Amino acid sequence: MPGPAAHAIATWEAVAVEAGRIAPGARFVAAGKSYGGRMASMAAADDRIAPDALVYLGYPLHPPGDPTKLRAAHLPSIRARQLFVEGTRDPFIQPLTDFEAVVATCASAEVMWVDGGGHSFEVKGRRLAPEQVGASLAAPVRDWIG
C-alpha cells in the first residue's frame, strides 16, 4: 500500500526542486503510474509543483467497483497539459463515460486509450511482458510530450 498522500506530494515537490536545480529552464513533465500520477496531479493542483505537462499511466479515478468515490475534484484546476493513458477495461475508471466526463472538465487534457487494456494495460488474450507493454506506450507518449 502506498504511503500517506502528504508524503507523496512532498516527494513530488522535492523532485521538482531538484530537477530545477539540475536542469534550470528545462521542461518538467511529471508522470506517474496510478497512485503516483494522482499524487503528481494533487501536487500540481496545490501549486506545490509547476510541471509543463502531466502524464498519468492508469489514473485511479475511483476505487475498483465504487465509482461514487471520485478522486478528481482537483483535476480541473490544473493549468498544465494532461495526458491520461488508460486501458478501456481498467476497473479504476468504469464506467468509461464517467471518466470521459471528468477529463472533459480539464482545461487541456487528452486520453490515449489502450483498447482492451486493464489497469496495467494488459490486454486479455495477448501475452506481452510488462516491458513490451511499456515499450508500446513510450513512442506515443513521447510524441504527445513533444
Give the separation between CA 133 and CA 135, rounded to whole angstroms.
5
Residue ranges of domains in the chain: 25-145
User: What are 8's three cell numbers?
Assistant: 507523496
Chain centroid offset of residue 115 CA: 17
pLDDT tens, residue order, the chain (146 aa): 578 999 999 999 999 999 999 999 999 999 999 999 999 999 999 999 999 999 999 999 999 999 999 999 999 999 999 999 999 999 999 999 999 999 999 999 999 999 999 999 988 888 888 888 889 999 999 999 99
Give the separation between CA 83 and CA 8, rounded to whole angstroms.
20
User: What are 112's three cell numbers?
Assistant: 490515449
CA distances for 17 relative to 25, 39, 145, angstroms:
12, 16, 21
DSSP type of residue 142: H
The class level of CATH for 25-145 reads alpha beta
